[in-house]
Amino acid sequence: MNKKDLGLLILILVVGLGVYLRNPLFLSPNNLANTANLIGLFGLFSIAQGFVIITGGIELSVGSMIALLGVLFVDMVGRLGVPWPIAAAIVMALGLLLGLAHGLLITKLRMQPFVVTLCGLLIYRGASRGYTADATAGFPFGSTYPGLDFFVARPWGIPTSVFVLAVVAVIAWVVLHRSVFGRYLFAVGKNEEAAKFSGIRTTAVITAAYVNCADLTAIAAIFFAMYTRSVSPSSHANFYELYAIAAAVLGGFSLRGGEGSIVGVILGTILLQILQNLVNLLGIPSSLNFAVMGTVILVGVLVDQQWGYMRERRRIREAARAPAEQPAE
């Protein structure tokens, strides 16, 4: 755990203590379980966003992708009678294809990530609304699906989403911090041209980042569909990409690319959910959630920018001091 992560952990403890002192219901078993479930759900696609941001890119279609894939999953299982494992496999395959399309448009056609994913945001949201004729997709009334209980179960009082997030986080940590592919991601994010000249296949690395992002988002889409039990395509997962970006920025991911940690993005997700919990417990209008998110992203970017300036000035001072410290011949 680096200094940024440690500082964020201390901030979480301080904010959590403040919320508890203001409203002791914060530590009630039911509230803790609900908050943990949301941390698990939001953490999945926040990690996904982190893989893209670390390459210097952005993925703005996360929320719309969750809506589209959620609609398809619920419709396949509830209306078409497709066994849920097959429906889940189809949804994950579609997520992979969407991520591959984004990656190829960005790397092969040299389109800006902002433009590609913004178009994806609009296309997927429109497709989900068109598929259901703007109606809510849900399971038939009174129907039961025993196999799907896994997604909403709480073994030992802990939501399944938390266990899934833990497994994904461990794998993502190994991939990002202990693998060659992870080093390639950091190298591409710091300087794509330099990485290319050093022999790294930057096209494949960036495309793989978007594929990983979309596939993790597909997993989150299934969990969200089971959490809500229905999907309203016009509002389901609206602006969730902002939650993911905020969590990543809070966790130390630089929007310039080349920096970030999995521990940090998990801590960022926890802090965001605690802040949202604070809004709910204090009876503050939920419409202010977006104001909180916007403030968090702004502060995170400002801190990241100032941190970068400080490091650059320190590097320049050390470089200027080095010749003076060399012994005269």
DSSP secondary structure string for all residues of 64-109: HHHHHHHHHHHHHHHTS---HHHHHHHHHHHHHHHHHHHHHHHHTS
C-alpha 46/C-alpha 66 separation (Å) is: 13
CATH code for position 119 = 1.10.3470
- 80 half-sphere exposure, CB direction, 13 A CA radius: 13
Residue 327 lies in a domain: no
pLDDT at residue 308 in the model: 67
What is the mean predicted confidence (pLDDT) over 22-40? 89
What pLDDT digit, counting tens, does each position of 253-297 carry? 888 888 889 999 999 999 888 888 877 777 777 677 777 767 776
Residue type, 41: L
Phi, psi (degrees; rounded to nearest 5) at 138? -155, 170
Which percentage of the chain shows pLDDT scores above 90?
Answer: 51
Residue 328 lies in a domain: no
Residue 326 lies in a domain: no
327 has pLDDT over 60:
no
Segment among 1-10, 43-52, 113-122 with least mean pLDDT: 1-10
pLDDT at residue 325 in the model: 58
pLDDT at residue 70 in the model: 94
C-alpha 207/C-alpha 211 separation (Å) is: 6
What pLDDT digit, counting tens, does each position of 201-211 carry? 999 999 999 99
pLDDT at residue 27 in the model: 86
What is the mean predicted confidence (pLDDT) over 81-88? 91
9-46-138 Cα angle (round to 5): 125
What is the mean predicted confidence (pLDDT) over 124-144? 85
Phi, psi (degrees; rounded to nearest 5) at 259? -140, 150
Residue 258 lies in a domain: yes
pLDDT at residue 323 in the model: 64
pLDDT at residue 22 in the model: 83
139 and 77 in contact (C-beta within 8 Å)? yes
* pTM exceeds cut of 0.85: yes
What is the mean predicted confidence (pLDDT) over 82-93? 93
DSSP H helical segments within the chain, as ranges?
3-22, 29-53, 62-78, 84-107, 113-131, 160-178, 180-190, 192-197, 202-228, 240-250, 262-281, 289-325
Phi, psi (degrees; rounded to nearest 5) at 327? -65, 140
pLDDT at residue 324 in the model: 56
Residue 153 lies in a domain: yes
pLDDT at residue 6 in the model: 82
What is the mean predicted confidence (pLDDT) over 135-146? 76
Residue 310 lies in a domain: yes
**Burial (CB count <10 Å: 0-12, 13-18, 19+), residue 189:** buried
Q: Which residue has the higher pLDDT, 50 or 139?
A: 50
Helix (H, G, I), strand (E, B) or coil at 137: strand
Residue 64 lies in a domain: yes
Instruction: Give the count of domains, the chain.
Output: 1
pLDDT at residue 304 in the model: 66
H helix or E strand, kind and range, residue 231: strand 230-231
Taking alpha carbons only, the member of 61, 23, 27 closest to residue 218 is: 61
Taking alpha carbons only, the member of 239, 223, 325 closest to residue 290 is: 239
Q: Which pLDDT band, with edges at 50, 70 and 90, does 249 fall under?
A: confident
- Determine the structural domain holding residue 131 and report its residue range: 3-139+146-321
